[in-house]
Amino acid sequence: MYLERINEPADLRALDHDELDALAGEIRDFIVAAVSETGGHLGSNLGAVELSLALHRVFDSPTDAIMWDTGHQAYVHKLVTGRRTQFEQLRQEGGLSGYPSREESRHDHIENSHASTVLSYAYGMAVARDTGTDDHRHIVAVIGDGAMTGGMAYEAINNLGHGKRRVIIVLNDNGRSYAPTVSNLAANVQGADEHEAHPSFTDRVTDKLSHALTDIRLNPVYVRRQRRLEDFLASLPAVGPQAEKAVEGFKAGVREFLQPPSFFEALGVRYTGPVDGHNIDELEQAFHNAIELSAEGPIVVHVLTQKGRGYSPAEDDDEKHLHDAPVFDPMTGPPKAVPTGYTQAFAEGVIKAAERDDRIVAITAAMPGPTGLLPFQEHFPKRFFDVGIAEQHAVAGAAGMAMGGLRPFVAIYSTFLSRAWDQVVYDVALHRLPVVFCLDRAGITGPDGASHHGVYDMALLSKVPGMRVLAPSSAQELHQMIDDAATLSDDGPVVIRYPRGSARQVADDQVGSGLSARQVQAGDGTLCILAVGRMLEFAEKAAAALAESGIDTTVWDVRSCAPLDPAMITDAATHRAIVTVEDGVRDGGIGMMIADQVGAIAPAVPVASLGTPTQFIPHGDPKTIMARLGLDTDGIVLAARAVLDPDV
């Protein structure tokens, strides 16, 4: 067993390549076993095994910074940097994070799980390094082909190229985000046409021509000779410049013939590849050469990997190569991922809406499966758009579609809509465009940690002029809200936000409509609980618990967070005390808006607002996190008793 001997990257350098290949096999078995126990990211990590080993053999982390875009593919990095024994607690409360964590290790840098950021970090760290005089450490940024479809990546590439920053970019191209990436970069580089845009892994690696070219272009001996020839020619009087031009022209002709200059080189970033991402020897050679060539400026090493490599249930999963997986039986692999709960309700509802209105189109930012849009794509292939990991473009694109007479439904996780805040406000709302935002994973999501909880959407979006913000308390309410949004959007944008996981099922008479709140039960005027979305279920249970001690509670399902229903505000203001509860940030949240409006008509009525704190909330089990924050039945009961009898 080699894995047990690896406690830090230096231990990798004692192994020969046969031992490294054996270690890679052990690591794959370890990751499958670990993820099968706790759930987590699988396909991406299985594809990054050899890449991670080669990086940690060639570069000297943490002196050299090895940074991972998105970070979901950093399990091997964690394994070889001393955290093997912590994987039993992967993504558990207080356990190992599923992403790099600065608290866990000096080898970790970026904790944010939002994609397409790593090149900007690399740029910034290179600038900081270069302000010093003797700092020669390497800045290595690993970015996936999916993350490369995010606009930020191009902003950074542009700056890196023009700034000639000494950064090594490792483009980990497995041809996929969840779905196949918009274009397979390897094919694009060689100008292959569309039908080759997603060649098999083997095809992608065995293109010997570009392979051979890589050797030439990467080999520093070739580069040094080329430079000596250029210097010699330039030194020749008279004929020198012409001869030099002739050599340049010849080289350009060779390059043009063999391989069109890549996108990267057009921006001043040297490109080389593709390299076989599962051949450690080849990877190490490529990285050593890149170190030499990076003296002149940034270089991309294009690495081809296979998502899910080495575990057939992942290799054979056409939808997402087991990008992530729940707890599962490693012998058989997890069952096929199908939408459940609110995601399933959205998947069904948006199809029904589109059947009724042919203006309706659906947009995803590289997450057709997790957002529930795969069935929509099957029903309406020409009305479905996957724009890549490009939320800003998705939203501004939706604005364009709406201006053109379409009715776009934009399906984006709550947390990822943060990326497109500017476009939501000034491209959609400013023009009062009929765009419907369907935000899955709103509220506390759990295992993916601080940058995945969807806790800001209500507080922020309720402040956008003309924006309607709806929060369903059941699957049936979500269906209703999708129907209503299709017409409400005549007057401008609508947001529907709903949580990860199971959805409450209710009878048709327990569903509201439009922008009205729904009174679930009427009390005797003592206490009024106003609940947002999934919190209604806890509010009803709290009311039942309070009834046992003689407190007769009114309960409202808020439904429309913006605008708030005036009838609900007026009724709440007639009570002795009010509790509001939402699974979003309390500061500036819906509860505070309710308190503000009640205060305007009944300033003496106390309002206790429950919500998430203005803090980053670490990963863990969502129910445990919500209980800890008082966002459950007991928390509501406690708040009710306190607001009724503050002296108790």
Ligand X SMILES: Cc1ncc(C[n+]2csc(CCOP(=O)(O)OP(=O)(O)O)c2C)c(N)n1
| Contact (CB, 8 A) for 118 and 143 | yes
632 binds, among ligand X, ligand DXP, Mg ion, none (CB under 5 to 8 A by kind): none
CB of 415 to ligand DXP, least distance (A): 8
Q: Active-site residue numbers? A: 307, 391, 419
What does R_g of the chain's alpha carbons equal in angstroms? 28
320 binds, among ligand X, ligand DXP, Mg ion, none (CB under 5 to 8 A by kind): none
Measure the N-to-C terminal CA separation of the chain; round to a whole number of Å: 62
Say whether residue 348 binds ligand X (CB under 6 A): no
Say whether residue 343 binds ligand X (CB under 6 A): no
CA–CA–CA angle 98, 102, 105 (5° rounding): 85
DSSP 543: H
Q: Largest Cα–Cα distance in the chain? A: 103
Give the span between the Cα atoms of 151 and 119, in whole angstroms: 11
Cβ neighbours of residue 90 under 8 Å, at least 6 residues apart? 34, 35, 37, 38, 40, 96, 98
**What is the per-residue binding string for ligand X in 303-332, x denoting contact by CB under 6 A?**
----x---------------x---------
CB of 114 to ligand DXP, least distance (A): 9
306 binds, among ligand X, ligand DXP, Mg ion, none (CB under 5 to 8 A by kind): none
Q: Which of residues 168-197 bind Mg ion (CB under 5 A)?
A: 174, 176
CA–CA–CA angle 389, 395, 396 (5° rounding): 110
Say whether residue 144 binds ligand X (CB under 6 A): yes
Q: Cite the annotated binding site by residue number.
A: 72, 113-115, 145-147, 174, 311, 391
The size of the interface with ligand X (CB under 6 A), counted in residues, is 25
Say whether residue 448 binds ligand X (CB under 6 A): no
Exposed (0-12), middle (13-18) or buried (19+): which is 546, by Cβ within 10 Å?
buried
Query: What residue type is 403 in one-letter code?
Result: M
Say whether residue 144 binds Mg ion (CB under 5 A): yes
Query: Which of 189, 367, 532, 594 lies at the binding interface for ligand X (CB under 6 A)?
Result: 367
**What residue ranges in 462-598 does DSSP mark as E strands?**
468-470, 494-497, 518-521, 527-531, 553-557, 560-562, 577-585
| Residue 608, beta-bridge partner list | 579
**255-259 own/partner pairs: CB under 8 Å, 24+ apart:** 258/209, 258/210, 258/213, 259/189, 259/190, 259/209, 259/210, 259/213
Cβ neighbours of residue 44 under 8 Å, at least 6 residues apart? 72, 73, 144, 174, 307, 323
Instruction: Quote helix, strand, coil % in the chain, to nearest 5.
Output: 50, 15, 35
Q: Cite the annotated binding site for thiamine diphosphate by residue number.
A: 72, 113-115, 146-147, 174, 311, 391
Piece in contact with ligand X (CB under 6 A), picked from 51-59, 175-183, 421-429, 492-500: 175-183
User: Which spans in 383-512 are helix H?
Assistant: 391-403, 414-417, 421-422, 457-461, 475-488
Nearest residue to Mg ion, using CB?
A: 144
Query: Which of 15, 67, 360, 389 lies at the binding interface for ligand X (CB under 6 A)?
Result: 389
CB of 324 to ligand DXP, least distance (A): 5
Which CB atom, from 342 or from 437, has the smaller least distance to ligand DXP? 342
Query: What residue type is 40 in one-letter code?
Result: G
Q: Cite the annotated binding site for Mg(2+) by residue number.
A: 145, 174
Binding site for ligand DXP (CB under 6 A): 70, 72, 113, 324, 370, 441, 445, 448, 500
Query: Cα torsion at 561, 565, 568, 569 (round to 10°)?
Result: 80
CB of 340 to ligand DXP, least distance (A): 11
Piece in contact with ligand X (CB under 6 A), picked from 170-178, 224-232, 342-350, 373-381: 170-178
Say whether residue 441 binds ligand X (CB under 6 A): no
CB of 370 to ligand DXP, least distance (A): 4
| Contact (CB, 8 A) for 374 and 351 | no
CB of 557 to ligand DXP, least distance (A): 25
| Contact (CB, 8 A) for 94 and 88 | no
**What is the per-residue binding string for ligand X in 392-431, x denoting contact by CB under 6 A?**
------------------------x--x------------
- Chain centroid to Cα 129, Å, comes to 28
CB of 342 to ligand DXP, least distance (A): 11
CB of 70 to ligand DXP, least distance (A): 6
Say whether residue 611 binds Mg ion (CB under 5 A): no
Give the span between the Cα atoms of 284 and 498, in whole angstroms: 46
Give the span between the Cα atoms of 423 and 159, in whole angstroms: 23
Query: Which of 36, 177, 480, 553 lies at the binding interface for ligand X (CB under 6 A)?
Result: 177
419 binds, among Mg ion, ligand X, ligand DXP, none (CB under 5 to 8 A by kind): ligand X
Query: Which of 43, 98, 146, 308 lies at the binding interface for Mg ion (CB under 5 A)?
Result: 146
Residues that bind ligand X (CB under 6 A): 44, 70, 72-73, 113-115, 144-147, 172, 174, 176-178, 307, 323, 365-367, 389, 391, 416, 419
Q: Which chain residues interact with Mg ion by CB under 5 A?
A: 144-146, 174, 176
